[in-house]
Amino acid sequence: MKRLLFFITAFIFCSLLQAQGQTGMDNVEPVRIDLWQANKMPNSRLQGNALPTDSIVNHRIWRCGMPRIYAYQPVVEERSKTAVILIPGGGYIKQAYEVSGISLAKWFNSIGITAFVLLHRLPNQAELIEPWKAPLQDAQRAIRYVRAHAEEFGINPERIGVMGTSAGGHFSACVSTITEDWSAIGDEYDKVSFLPNFAILVSPIINELEPETAGKRLDLCGTSKDDPTWSKLFSIDKSVSSTNPPTLMIHASDDPAVPVLNSMKMYEALKKAGVEKCSLHIFPFGKHAIALRHQPGSTALWPEIAEEWMKEIGVF
């Protein structure tokens, strides 16, 4: 009798666990969302089934066939109405989607923020017509999609930010600054704003035209790292205006790849443009592409600073 009672109790317990998974626990798993229809990919020579496949090596994506976002949401009880779109770094030749994407998404979830990891096309992909446009097209589309579906995700459409590290920081600055619409394709998302409400830039590349800020080279045009086309267009501090959102910059003085003056120039440009609520934090140590964990000394405090800054500016 005791043995039968044990099995009945175990069966009921397992059934409850299964029911719990079917009524909400599954929602905490990341959800893939493709940004374009396969036959309506802008700025591409290939369409439909001819789109390239992904190339992934050592937790980096080197070629992205279908631009997409992965939605990471906190458990329902802990969700705020804030969202961040994460743009992984990698010099525009790859995307380190784990260390500067998934890990950060999970941290944002831990403080109640919905996070989306963006995987965008890279300028060195052969099918692109105008290589330098593709990443921004995908990012504008991602912001539009998240804002259009804000109610579905339980977020405020006026509390959507972007965050990136290294080249992802440069990309986040571009998304925050360039107001020209590169992602319109004549569908319902064209009417939705693609500008973020705040930005977090970590070890960002900002300007390579001037010797004091020139550091790690980016191949944004997909042809030559010395091609001046992108340097003039994407030295982004030169294009900052009052339309830029509040921005937080995190950088290390001992960054060997991207001089800290890049963040300083961005902060100066934002101040001159009259953009309020911006903040610049320069740490003595941390090297390049400051990550979430294993940071020295005061640099380890940067996630807390980011959290408090979002509260300070009223988006969290």
Domains of the chain: 28-312 (3.40.50.1820)
The per-residue pLDDT for 229 is: 62
- What is the structure's pLDDT at 26? 38
The answer on pLDDT for 54 being more than 90 is: no
Query: What pLDDT is attached to residue 132?
Result: 87
Residue scoring higher pLDDT (93 or 302) = 302
In this predicted structure, what is the pLDDT of residue 5? 44
Give the mean model confidence (pLDDT) for residues 73-78. Answer: 92
Tens digits of residue pLDDT in 114-127: 999 999 999 889 89
At 227 the pLDDT is 60
What's the mean pLDDT when you consider all of the chain?
87
Of the ranges 18-27, 56-65, 166-175, which one carries the lowest mean pLDDT score?
Answer: 18-27
pLDDT band at 21 (very low <50, low <70, confident <90, very high): very low
Q: Band of the pLDDT at 219, cuts 50, 70, 90?
A: low
What stretches of the chain show up as alpha helix (H) in DSSP?
2-22, 103-110, 134-148, 150-153, 167-177, 228-234, 261-272, 302-312
Please check whether residue 179 is in contact with residue 143, taking contact to mean a CB–CB distance below 8 angstroms. Answer: no
- Per-residue confidence (pLDDT) for residue 136, from 0 to 100: 94
Is the predicted pLDDT of residue 305 greater than 60, yes or no?
A: yes
Q: Place 58 in a pLDDT band, splitting at 50, 70 and 90.
A: confident
Strands 68-72 vs 114-119: parallel, antiparallel or unpaired: antiparallel
| pLDDT given at position 146 | 98
Q: 288 near 295, Cβ under 8 Å?
A: no
**Segment holding 137, helix H or strand E:** helix 134-148
Which range has the worst mean pLDDT, 12-16, 224-228, 229-233, 306-310?
12-16
**pLDDT of res. 22:** 38
Name the residue with higher pLDDT: 31 or 17: 31
Pick from 165, 161, 145: nearest CA to 153: 145
Residue of 185, 158, 190, 162 lying closest to 175 (CA atoms): 162
Which of 8-22, 37-51, 174-188 bottoms out in mean pLDDT, i.e. has the lowest? 8-22
The share of the chain scoring above pLDDT 70, in percent, equals 84
Tell whether the model's pLDDT for residue 315 goes beyond 90.
yes
Q: What pLDDT is attached to residue 10?
A: 43
Which pair of structure tokens corresponds to residue 286?
A: 């941390």
- Check residue 25 and give its pLDDT: 35
- Report pLDDT for 57: 87
Q: Which of 19-23, 208-212, 265-269 has the highest mean pLDDT?
A: 265-269
Q: Which two tokens stand for residue 185?
A: 């394709």
Token code pair at residue 259 = 């001089």
